[in-house]
Amino acid sequence: MSTTEETTEETAEETAGPPGGGGVVRGLSTLDRFLAVWILAAMAAGLGLGRAVPGLDDALSRVEIGGISLPIAVGLLIMMYPVLAKVRYDRLDAVTGDRRLMVSSLALNWILGPAVMFALAWFFLPDLPEYRTGLIVVGLARCIAMVIIWNDLACGDREAAAVLVALNSVFQVLAFGLLGWFYLDLLPRWLNLGDGQGLDVSVWHIALNVVVFLGVPLLAGFLTRRLGEKKLGRGPYERNFLPRIGPWALYGLLFTIVLLFALQGRTITSQPLDVARIALPLLVYFALMWFGAFALGKTIGLAYDRTATLAFTAAGNNFELAIAVAIATFGVTSGQALSGVVGPLIEVPVLVALVYVSLAWRGKFAAR
């Protein structure tokens, strides 16, 4: 179930192949199989554009609505729409009834994730308070956008991903500001780590972020599925229509990555040592969260598709929100903003690599 090929559950089982998952990777389209190459090329192109075109980053950043970069928002909408049009919304009840999945996801995203990032930020960056604060903000912004793509590429449960992302969105609106106060102000003072630092963020700004990056593509995907099945029937809709719009998910992803790195290309390439310092705790964070969540899913008896969904939703972060909050609170040239920018620089290639790890392990679940 790649972004370019719609397969039924029966076909997915056939392509699983022998233990080890090699059949799944071989079953991907050429476009998806070389995803890492396209993403690295998009990152390089974005960094190059940011350096080569004077004023491009300023021009892109000025085109925004409520602190959200409009070009990036367009890219994310294009990226998420095809995947959300593939979701079988009549199966969501089966997901919400899986208490193991729901409770595990909430605990990983809103208890463990922020705590792990807080600990790593203080461990690796005790002498760099601006970068440390920026990393903590990244840890608080749970993923509601790109995780849809990573989950789909890894043959995760689309319906489960839609439910967990929606759940994250609700908690993001309700808990982001409160957790920001706890981890940036209250907890450091409790632990005698120095004076706390506030986080000035509007609930309405977070709500707007959720509406733009999830609400719009979710509504579009739901209406497309509903009207498409009504007009064509489920079989023709999935066999004929979905493969036509599938590749646009990858096009939107690559477009978003180019713009994202063009926005901050000069900043990233002019401070390589700072980027390296910020990157190390991020690498550890993504590894701990993904492998820990994957192990938890298998331990509690989840099937492969829901285990993969649990792992990617736990490891991913909402970098759009993190960057917007850091810039609005601390300034566009602040160290906090740089930490937010470095987030996707590390997250994108790492989670792409974990897609292949996940597919390779899929056979172990099929053999159980």
All structural domains of the chain: 17-366 (1.20.1530.20)
Q: Is the pLDDT of residue 158 over 80?
A: yes
**Residue 65 backbone phi and psi in degrees, to 5:** -130, 120
- How far apart CA 158 and CA 328 sit, in angstroms, is 33
Rounded to two decimals, the pTM is 0.79
Res 218: pLDDT:
84
What residues form DSSP beta bridges with 68? 65
Beta strands in 186-245 (DSSP E): none
pLDDT tens per residue, range 80-122: 888 888 888 888 887 888 899 999 999 999 999 999 999 999 9
pLDDT above 90 covers a percentage of the chain that reads 30
Report which of 118, 252, 271, 274 is spatially closest to residue 191, judged by C-alpha positions.
Answer: 118
Q: How confident is the model at residue 300 (pLDDT cuts 50, 70, 90)?
A: very high
Whole-number Å distance between alpha carbons of 109 and 289: 9
The answer to whether residue 5 scores a pLDDT higher than 50 is no
Candidates 150, 44, 164, 36; CA nearest to 100 is: 164
Rounded Cα distance, 201 and 325, in Å:
7
Q: For helices 319-330 and 129-140, give the axis angle rounded to 10 degrees.
A: 140
Write out the two tokens for 149.
Answer: 């793509």
